[in-house]
Amino acid sequence: AVSAILIAVVTLGPPAYQGGPAYSPTVRPAPLTPPGYVTSGQVPRFYVQVTTHGKPGQNPSEAVVHATATGAVLAVVPPLAGRTVNRVTAAANGRTFVLAEEPWTAAGRAGTAPSALAILNLTAAGRVLGTGALPYTAAGDASLRALALSADGTRLAFASQPATSRNEPALTNVTVLKLAGGASKTWSATGDLTGTVSWTADGKKLAFSWQSGHSLSVRLLDLTSPGGSLLGHSRVAVSLTQAARSGGALITFAPVSLITPDGATVVCAAQLVQAGAKA
């Protein structure tokens, strides 16, 4: 039984001083309402939600564009033919999105078409400016595990995992794709990338949650490296372990983590499990 969701914040150290004047936020104070946050520039004007009509798992999903301030539906974007939308990520401008789509047939997620990535651009008013497939191909049995656009919207990082037999260890690939031109680099390792991936604002590091056996950690991948070994070109930023609490309660970390844009802090989710609760 999970009684609470906790947030663990780990400071990695201050970012290196780059010279120039001290940083000062440019956003204006705002009332604690959705319209106020949008007006101040603290949150984007639009968001995209993955929505299913009917019972989930029995119908394909589509992308729905909403106005953040009101929640109003501005556009509905169906998946590419023979696919279903299962993930979405946004650039910092709040108008560039990438959708991850998996094969779909009348029998559910049993199609043989490869997984796909589609870009979605919005106008300043939230209308769909255009959509289109990105130059990414994968075997029909490969699954996309996580994806994230860089802050400037020019590169996409995503994790994929080819299907393996029950006795084979999982192989995880992390790919960074340039949206213009399609150039890419890939890093690979045996193990599971779970949860999320996230960028630093300078686009030089990618944080991801990594599980190998019973070990869970948050690692930082050096994106300036040429590709190759995922573990060889990354380092452990935080090791996550279970921690006993008073009264027998237990904190167990969930495989969800985000790095702050300045690269100084990692935020991790955790669950508080009560003593004597059934698994």
Name, in order, each residue with C-beta under 8 angstroms of 236's C-beta and a sequence gap of 6 or more.
217, 218, 219
* pLDDT for the residue numbered 16: 39
* pLDDT for the residue numbered 91: 92
* 21: pLDDT strictly greater than 60: no
* pLDDT for the residue numbered 115: 75
Bridge partners for 224 per DSSP: none
Separation CA 186–CA 77 (nearest Å)? 29
* pLDDT for the residue numbered 67: 95
The helix (run of H) or strand (run of E) holding residue 34 is helix 34-40
Q: Which DSSP letter does residue 263 get?
A: S
Tens of pLDDT along 205-238? Answer: 999 989 877 778 899 999 999 999 999 999 998 8
Percent of the chain beyond pLDDT 90?
A: 35
Higher pLDDT, 41 or 112: 41
Tens of pLDDT along 89-111? Answer: 999 888 999 998 888 876 655 55
Give 188's pLDDT tier (boundaries 50, 70, 90).
Answer: very high
Q: Which DSSP letter does residue 40 get?
A: H
Do 163 and 142 contact (CB within 8 A), yes or no? Answer: yes
Higher pLDDT, 120 or 81: 120
Percent of the chain beyond pLDDT 70?
A: 75
When the pLDDT of each residue in the chain is averaged and rounded to a whole number, the result is 80
Q: Count other C-beta atoms under 10 Å from residue 160's C-beta.
A: 23
- In the Cβ-directed half-sphere of 225, how many Cα atoms lie within 13 Å? 19
* pLDDT for the residue numbered 82: 79
Separation CA 57–CA 190 (nearest Å)? 29
* 157: pLDDT strictly greater than 90: yes
pTM of the entire predicted model: 0.80
Higher pLDDT, 150 or 252: 150
